[in-house]
Every structure is written in structure tokens, then in C-alpha cells.
A and B are shown apart, each in its own frame.
Chain A
């Protein structure tokens, strides 16, 4: 199911964790990896001048520069590349989010793996409203796996998956992806919903009743889709969704969190406040997959 992995790197340390997970997956599941690197934003009308994503310096993209960057990538990932024969390195210029989407579409990627948006080199995003992650997550046809910490767990493949739902249409796609992954990789799946009671005054009884109702809703929404898959459980907690997801992920030591992504907001400031996905990415100890469209799940 992860036949084609698109690894989007920035060259900054923020994408090292992502790279490790992508290469591990490729080894484990025999995937084809496209290491994709956007050299910089093409400024200056027609010319070949870009701002280097690492230094922010103006550089001219020519063969020398390209081979230098390619060499850098090979050196950086030398260890991981060992023993992987299905790897291509692609360099291009352009607006990062747009070029990642373009490449994903052109190779028909099953999964995009990228570093998390925060902590990335500021130059990479300068002048472009909306973080690269938000833009890619909004438009990509395939799931996106993000890794914020290099120390993210994942040593022995995925064995526990946490799927958080808000019952949206996109959540259904995310669920199907989580289920498929759990089946194929033989994982334990936890289906979770956090009952957001902030701003409401409820007594304990009401809360209990609501929790029961949500449990019932999860059962009726997702159980019919499970078929013979039995290795799952349901959790419903109260609290702010991202906080509870992160807590549960730690408690259960899950290896992968799967969430739907459906923020329309591309302004990074506004989106950050509202987006559960981004909050979870930043806080979780494991990779996070976001799914917004049904196409590739």
C-alpha cells in the first residue's frame, strides 16, 4: 500500500526524522522512494536565480549547483540509502508546496512524507502565505505522513495505530486509511474521539451520557466497515481534541496517529490555532498521517 513514497525534504534538520521514517518504511515494505527537494523559490522573472532554501542566499541554479545539492543529499542520507535500490533524487525549483503536489500527482504517490512545518528554515517559506504543510495537506490526493521529532518512536515498524475522528467526511477517508494500514501491517487500531466540552457547562451525568452516545456513534459509524477485522478498541475521552490525542498516544505507545485534515484556512497563523492536525504533529512522539481525500486510501 506504500508502493510509491514521495519524501519531501528541506535539507534542514527538521526533515531528518521524516527521512528516517520514509527510508525505514521503504526497506520494510519494499517501496519506491522519490527524494524530492525544491531548490528554492524562483525569484526574478525568467532568470535561474533562486534563494537557496538553507542559507537564504541568492544562488544560480546550474549544473554545478544541482550536482552539489544532490551530493549533499546523498551524503546526508548515506546510511539510509544503503541497500535501497529503488530511490530517485529529484531536484526542482518552484514554490515548495506546489512542486510537492505536482510531483505527487505525476508519480501517483501513495504517501507523501515530509518534515513538520514548524522548525523548518524560515527562508523556505518566506513571502508565501500558508505553510507548506497546510497547502499540501489541503490539496493532496494521498495521505501525508509528518514527523516532527527525530526521536519519534517507530523502531520496529508500526504495530499500534491511533485514529482520531471528528465524524467529518474527511474523517471517513482517514478511517479507511487507518483500517487498511492496520490490516495490512497487522496492527492494533484504536478509534478515538475527544468530546470537546470547552465552553459548555455540563454536569457529570450529562457528560457521561454524552460519552456513551459518542461510543455508540463510533460503533454504528465504523463497525460496519470493519468486516472481519477484530483487533481494535474504542476510546472516548473528554477534553480538547489535540491534547487528548497526544495523551492517549503516549499512554498506549502508539506508532502512528491518523487524522483527517480539513482546515480550509491557509493563513498559517489562523490555521495553527484551529488545526488539530498541526497541534498533534508538533506534540506527538510518533509520526502523524493526515488524510483529506478518499482517492488514495
Chain B
């Protein structure tokens, strides 16, 4: 059978197809169909010839199989150090083979490659720092995922996630209407306690355009309320776009390049339309990677930059604390051992390692901050990156992957983990559910709000 009804080479572009795919419990039928999916070897080879950059070619060729990257990969470490988990092996046996065979691979090969690409690598890019040749397996896996996706070999949830992005331009079925409604709702709910608070939608020429992760309006709308509170207290002139508000990209993890481009273009259009001085994204690592680090290349921006300066939430927060726009009540600082999760996607991929530590200095009583070891750009993936968190088929593997982070956290002795990345936050929550190590986890926003020194005029008028 060349193509299945649910599992096929076509991206999900219609609500009907999305419903059909969603209705397939755990993707059982989807994966059954996948076993019979033909590989279009000519197309695959043509695509490799057309899209594989010389860097990737060189990397595949110059890998000395020295194995120096082995220890760097957390998945190698937590999986009994089996040779099949060595980064170079993982990529050579998949992408390397595919190239060597000039695309002449079969269904079984593709399914195996899918398993490796989505359950043995989170694209955390850690190994790239340890290879003497600078070979970044994470980057190559992203590329491989694209090839697999185009042939229909992609995990069920990511096919859906990408379809969501295509249809709703959000990783979940949050429509533009839902989004605007949520902003109104949150403003209503918050303004009583914070008189004068607004969530302005589509305000032109504001100083800040704020964008977020669709999980927030979908399940955690208080995150938007919290962002509003902090902008309000800091006295910022800000807005959210009604369209182009969703910054994440499951399509990036699915390997759906076309969709990646469309989504980031949508955000950039909002920037052009509203003309803010700069943009601020929420506490999410991969959203930042998609919109700020990789996005400009997807849409072909020559300067490699988004249309306006676009910073991660931690950068704005540090700035607001530094300049005194937000003030912390010293008595309310954290006085218990606390540690910090460095999100690969903005720490390793964008160098934002010191800025979070600057925030820590404001909010944690000296002596209570405990670093994980290793940390900063050497930190390990939370265990759920690259789409791993969401894939039911690879849940057992994901749960094993969480162990590295668990050990790291246990070693700090901290019960509170600050995780300024939505996906890391999810992974750490899952980690607690799976292993019960007795920790709490938090974004920065609620922590900061709980320790703010609020100027008198912003407080609600208290009656007795």
C-alpha cells in the first residue's frame, strides 16, 4: 500500500483530516498503516541532493568515529552506555546510511530511522560542543526529521501537532477568537486586584509586542495574566497581536519545514502590522529558538534577524529588575535551596546563560541558590525536548531520559526548581509524577509577582 488514509506523505491541512487522525486512538491504525507505507526513493534522493548543505555532508564525511561525543549525550548515559546511543552512531546509521545508499532505503529502514530520530535524540545540541570537529548531531537530526516527515514517517502526535500549526497556526486548536477572548477574560479576572491593568490587543506602535506559547491560552491562561501584571507594574506600553501571537513550532520538531516558515511569517507579519519597538516572547525555550534563532532563516531574512529586536522573557525580566522597573521586596526573597533549569534552546542555542543568573541574584537570598552540575551551556536536556514529551509511542524511552535531570536535581538538594521554559516545566512536572522525588517547579512570573514591591498607586484601594 503506497499511502494510508491516516499515515501518508500529505501534511494535515484540513480540519477533517485532523479529526480523522485524532480519532485514531494512540495512533494504532496510523502506525499499522505506516508499516505498509512506500518509500519514494527517487524523491528522497532528489530531496537530499537539493537540500543537504555542504556542512552536513562534510560532517558526515569527517566524523572520525572517535567516540568522544559519547559521554556528552545524556541519552547514552542513562541508557546503560550502549554503543547504539553514541551520537555519531545514531546519525551515521540513519542519515549517513540514507545518503550512502543514495536514498534507496526501505520501509523498515525508515521506521527504524524514525525511532532513532525521535526517541534517541532531543536535538539538544550538547554533543556538538564536545566533538573535536564541531560536528553537531542535533542539527543533523533536525535535518533527518525533515526527510522522514516528507515521506510520512513521523510520530503520530507530531503529525497532529504540525497539522494544528497548519490549520490554527498554533500548536493546539486555539483559534484567533479563543485567543482574544482569553485575553479579555484574563484582564477581567485580574483588573480588580490590579486596578488599571489591561491586555491591549492590536495596539499599534507600542514599545513591546508580547507573544506566547499556545499551551498558555489553552490550559494555563494565568500565565498571560501574570505577564500582564508584570508589564503593568513595570509601566510598559505593550500589546499582543490578535493574529501571530503563537510563537512555538511543533512543526520544527516534526520536521515540517514548510509549516515552520508559514508560522514564523505569521508572527513577523504581526510585527510589521503593529510596528512595535521590540518583541518579547514568553518563558519558552523552543518558541524562542523557532521565532528568533531559526525563524529568520526559514523566511529568508538576509540579516538573519527578526524584523524587530526580539528577546526572550528572561532578558526582559532581568532588564526590568536591573533598571528598577520592577522591585523585589528583600524580605520576600526565596530562602530555601533552589535550583535553575537551563533550557538548551536559549542557553546553548542563544547564549542566554548569565541573564537568568542575574535574575536569581535579585530573587534568591544569597547562599540559597544551588547550581546543577554541570550547568549553563553544559547543562543536560530536561529529558523531554525536541518533541519527546508529547510522543506516546516513545513514552517509556522518555521516562528513562528524565533520569538524568532527576539525578541532577537530587544532587542539588533543592526542592524548588525554577524552569523558565514551558517544555522543561512540563518535563520536570512529569519527572515528579513518574519518580516522586518531592520537588516543586515554577516559572519565573509567579515567583516574581509573589515578591514584588508594588508602588502604592498600583494597589487596589483596601477597605477594611
Contact = CB atoms under 8 A, between A and B. Distances in A.
Interface of A: 42-49, 51, 60, 62-64, 94-95, 98, 101-102, 105, 126-127, 129, 139, 167-169, 264, 293
B457 interface: no
Contacts of B463: 168-169
A63 B391 CA distance: 19
B219 A95 contact: yes
18 contacts: A43-B429, A44-B392, A44-B426, A45-B157, A45-B387, A45-B389, A45-B390, A48-B22, A60-B26, A64-B25, A94-B218, A98-B219, A98-B221, A98-B222, A105-B185, A127-B433, A129-B440, A293-B192
A201 to B, nearest CB: 23
A168 B462 CA distance: 9
A221 to B, nearest CB: 11
Given A98-B219, A98-B220, A139-B189, A51 B464 contact: no
B172 interface: yes
Nearest to B189: A139
Contacts of A129: 440
Contacts of B387: 45
A43 B433 contact: yes
Contacts of B440: 129
A51 B433 contact: yes
A51 B164 CA distance: 23
Nearest to A45: B390
Interface in B202-219: 215, 218-219
Contacts of B433: 43, 51, 126-127
A105 B186 CA distance: 11
Contact of A47 (B192, B392, B464): B392
Contact of B430 (A43, A48, A62): A43
Interface in B418-446: 423, 426, 429-430, 432-433, 440
B171 A46 contact: yes
B250 interface: yes
Contacts of A42: 219
A44 B192 contact: no
Contact of B389 (A44, A60, A102): A44
Contacts of A101: 189
A60 B157 CA distance: 12
Question: B interface, by DSSP: helix, strand, loop or mixed?
Answer: helix
Nearest to A167: B464
Contact of B160 (A46, A98, A169): A46
B438 to A, nearest CB: 12
A47 B157 contact: yes
Nearest to B156: A47
A129 B450 CA distance: 13
Contacts of A44: 389-390, 392, 395, 426, 430
A62 B23 contact: yes
Interface string B126-163: 00000000000000000000000000000001001100
Interface of B: 22-23, 25-26, 157, 160-161, 164, 171-172, 185, 189, 192-193, 215, 218-222, 250, 384, 387, 389-392, 395, 423, 426, 429-430, 432-433, 440, 463-464
B42 to A, nearest CB: 33
Contacts of A46: 157, 160-161, 164, 171-172, 250, 390
B426 A95 contact: no
A127 B250 contact: no
Nearest to A101: B189
Given A94-B219, A98-B219, A45 B192 contact: no
A74 to B, nearest CB: 22
Contacts of A264: 193
Contacts of B171: 46
A96 to B, nearest CB: 11
B414 to A, nearest CB: 17
B91 to A, nearest CB: 24
Nearest to A169: B463
A175 to B, nearest CB: 14
B392 A49 contact: yes
Nearest to A105: B185
A42 B429 CA distance: 11
B219 A63 contact: no
A48 B219 CA distance: 13
Contacts of A60: 25-26, 392
B332 to A, nearest CB: 13
A151 B369 CA distance: 50
Contacts of B185: 102, 105
B115 to A, nearest CB: 17
A167 B193 CA distance: 19
